[in-house]
């Protein structure tokens, strides 16, 4: 339960980012560029088993990873304004620095757009390949057609850009003017932005991830991507505050009380809610036992991807769930940071398992039943059709995109304070205590 204590805390000089932030951001940016270039050389040069097909799938995987982190931060910001929250005012600006990346992240989507427009989108989304079109895909052509897909992608990316620019820009503008009406302005418009956010995130998840296997569908997939966003963002949130604390920043503004609440959010939304949505989706598909739906999970639980799925069960849920049950781990900064780092790794596995496997239609047609298919999968004969080819390019692109994300966060931090110090509710955040 949240309440107000009697502690009187004032803002210190530590709410300003220093030169080392800009320097670290530059290092992260060049690391990202180097990793992406090396991944491209390996993939397009056919080195170590690389291929253009795998490169673009890996590109989408890395994009989904950092996009969900940024979307989680934007949702957090909007919910704080919608609920008129005061406890989070001293930590909300760091979330705004993360959400700032939505103003440029569309650049990383351009290679995928170019791939689709050039007629090679089938390298990632099989329904874009005319040779893979069948009656099921033809029946979805009113929605799954390239011109409409490109148009929707532009709309989604524009929506992300506008929402980020509005909330981040207005909050930073308040640092200069101190005008409390800017807070009221954000509160006025946040319901509309939440509606746009929900629709954009849901349908972008359908278009960019679920349609990789156009025969499969799940009405819960958009909510699953939202749960992924919670996990990615709140884990990143904790890691950023640990680094700032290590740099002697925000020692007065962000207390153990805030750490406990960040732990609650990661526990409740990034772990428990994520597991609830994932299990619900799996259970409903298993119970219905409809071939068009079960093939999606069949490729993931009966073949070489099975250990990855078991990792999500234990590494993404059970282990962190048990660790975060008590408030003592939430209030221990080193332990909380270690759990957050682990969850960022689990988040990467989650995104990888969503994007990289393929539903082997031909193999499923040849198998007599599930056990027959499972035996073929265990033998390794279906690795090609299951898309099981983890490569060094996967790691390089992930590191590269994380480098770009870190660079964007550091750039934003260098332009604005680490705390929204002229927010009219900042005093609530400074004296916040858990009761």
pLDDT single digits (tens) 52-87: 989 999 999 999 999 999 999 999 999 999 999 999
Gyration radius from the chain CA atoms: 22
Cα–Cα nearest to 177, from 429, 431, 434, 421: 421
Domain region containing 136: 15-434
**Residue 45 in 3-state DSSP?**
coil
Is the distance from CB of 87 to CB of 254 less than 8 angstroms? no
Q: Residue 150: inside a domain, yes or no?
A: yes
Which letter does DSSP use for residue 211 in this model?
Answer: G
pLDDT tens profile 108-148 = 999 999 999 999 999 999 899 988 888 888 999 999 999 99
**Other C-beta atoms lying within 10 Å of the C-beta of residue 335:** 15
The number of residues in the chain equals 435
Residue 88 has φ and ψ, to the nearest 5°, of -95, 5
Which letter does DSSP use for residue 326 in this model?
Answer: S
- Please report which confidence band the pLDDT of residue 15 belongs to, taking 50, 70 and 90 as the band edges: low
Q: Residue 9: inside a domain, yes or no?
A: no
Is the distance from CB of 106 to CB of 408 less than 8 angstroms? no
Q: Residue 80: inside a domain, yes or no?
A: yes
Predicted model pTM: 0.93
Q: Residue 5: inside a domain, yes or no?
A: no
Q: Residue 10: inside a domain, yes or no?
A: no
Q: Residue 2: inside a domain, yes or no?
A: no
Which letter does DSSP use for residue 220 in this model?
Answer: T
Q: Residue 3: inside a domain, yes or no?
A: no
**162/152 Cα distance (integer angstroms):** 15
Is the distance from CB of 42 to CB of 385 less than 8 angstroms? no
Element (DSSP H or E) covering residue 434: strand 432-434
Q: What is the domain count for the chain?
A: 1
Q: Residue 197: inside a domain, yes or no?
A: yes
Element (DSSP H or E) covering residue 264: helix 256-265
pLDDT at position 215, please? 86
**358/372 Cα distance (integer angstroms):** 18
pLDDT tens profile 352-403 = 999 998 766 555 655 556 666 667 666 666 666 666 788 999 999 999 999 9
């Amino acid at each position: 339960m949240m309440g107000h204590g009697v502690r009187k805390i004032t803002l210190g000089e530590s709410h300003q980012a220093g030169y080392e932030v800009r320097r670290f951001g530059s290092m992260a940016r060049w690391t990202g560029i180097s990793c992406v270039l090396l991944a491209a050389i390996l993939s397009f040069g056919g080195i170590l088993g690389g291929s253009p097909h795998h490169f673009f799938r890996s590109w989408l995987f890395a994009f989904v990873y950092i996009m969900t982190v940024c979307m989680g931060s934007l949702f957090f910001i909007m919910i704080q304004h919608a609920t008129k929250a005061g406890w989070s005012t001293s930590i909300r600006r760091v979330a705004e620095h993360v959400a700032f990346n939505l103003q440029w992240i569309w650049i990383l989507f351009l290679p995928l757009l170019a791939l689709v427009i050039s007629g090679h989108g089938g390298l990632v989304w099989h329904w874009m390949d005319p040779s893979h079109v069948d009656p099921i895909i033809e029946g979805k052509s009113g929605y799954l057609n390239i011109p409409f897909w490109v148009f929707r992608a532009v709309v989604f990316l524009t929506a992300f850009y506008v929402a980020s620019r509005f909330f981040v820009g207005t909050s930073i503008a308040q640092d200069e003017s101190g005008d409390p009406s800017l807070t009221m302005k954000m509160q006025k418009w946040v319901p509309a932005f939440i509606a746009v956010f929900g629709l954009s995130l849901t349908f972008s998840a359908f278009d960019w991830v679920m349609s990789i296997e156009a025969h499969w569908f799940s009405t819960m997939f958009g909510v699953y991507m939202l749960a992924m966003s919670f996990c990615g963002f709140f884990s990143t949130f904790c890691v950023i505050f640990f680094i700032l604390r290590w740099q002697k920043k925000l020692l007065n503004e962000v207390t153990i009380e805030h750490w406990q609440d960040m732990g609650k959010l990661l526990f409740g939304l990034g772990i428990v809610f994520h597991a609830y949505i994932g299990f619900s989706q799996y259970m409903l598909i298993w119970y219905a036992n409809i071939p068009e739906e079960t093939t999606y999970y069949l490729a993931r639980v009966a073949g070489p991807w099975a250990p990855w799925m078991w990792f999500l069960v234990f590494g993404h849920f059970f282990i962190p769930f048990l660790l975060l049950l008590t408030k003592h781990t939430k209030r221990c900064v080193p332990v909380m940071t270690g759990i957050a780092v682990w969850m960022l790794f689990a988040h990467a596995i989650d995104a990888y398992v969503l994007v990289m496997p393929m539903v082997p239609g031909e193999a499923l047609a040849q198998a007599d039943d599930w056990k027959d298919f499972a035996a073929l999968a265990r033998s390794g004969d279906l690795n090609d059709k299951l898309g099981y080819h983890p490569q060094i390019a996967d790691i390089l692109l992930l590191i590269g995109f994380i480098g770009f994300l870190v660079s964007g966060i550091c750039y934003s931090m260098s332009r604005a304070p680490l705390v929204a110090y002229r927010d009219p509710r900042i005093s609530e955040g400074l004296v916040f205590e858990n009761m």
